[in-house]
Amino acid sequence: MNGTPNLGISIVLYIVGVMLVLIAVLILLKGLGLLTTLPNDIIVALILLSIGVGILGGIRTSRGR
């Protein structure tokens, strides 16, 4: 083992990281009162966005090595 995660682990870590950032932004907006309700379609879109960004980020970092 050389200490570098494989492609699958990188993708999962990127997806989780993007989801955490999006959740933090939503909590901040809700706490400031700028966001009162959030439709289910927006939640699904944010989940799909985080999955897409995670896959692209994981592939990009694996090719950069």
Q: Which structural domain range is residue 32 located in?
A: 7-63
Q: What is the pLDDT of residue 51?
A: 93
Crossing angle of the two packed helices 40-63 and 7-31, in degrees rounded to 10: 140
In-domain check, residue 25: yes
Is the pLDDT score of 4 beyond 70? no
The pLDDT-based confidence of 65 (bands split at 50, 70, 90) is low
Residue 14: burial class (beta carbons within 10 Å; 0-12, 13-18, 19+): buried
CA atoms within 13 A on the CB side of 54: 21
Query: Per the structure, how many domains does the chain have?
Result: 1
In-domain check, residue 26: yes
In-domain check, residue 30: yes
Average pLDDT (4-12) is 83
Q: What is the pLDDT of residues 30-61, one digit of tens each?
A: 899 888 888 888 888 999 999 999 999 888 88
In-domain check, residue 1: no
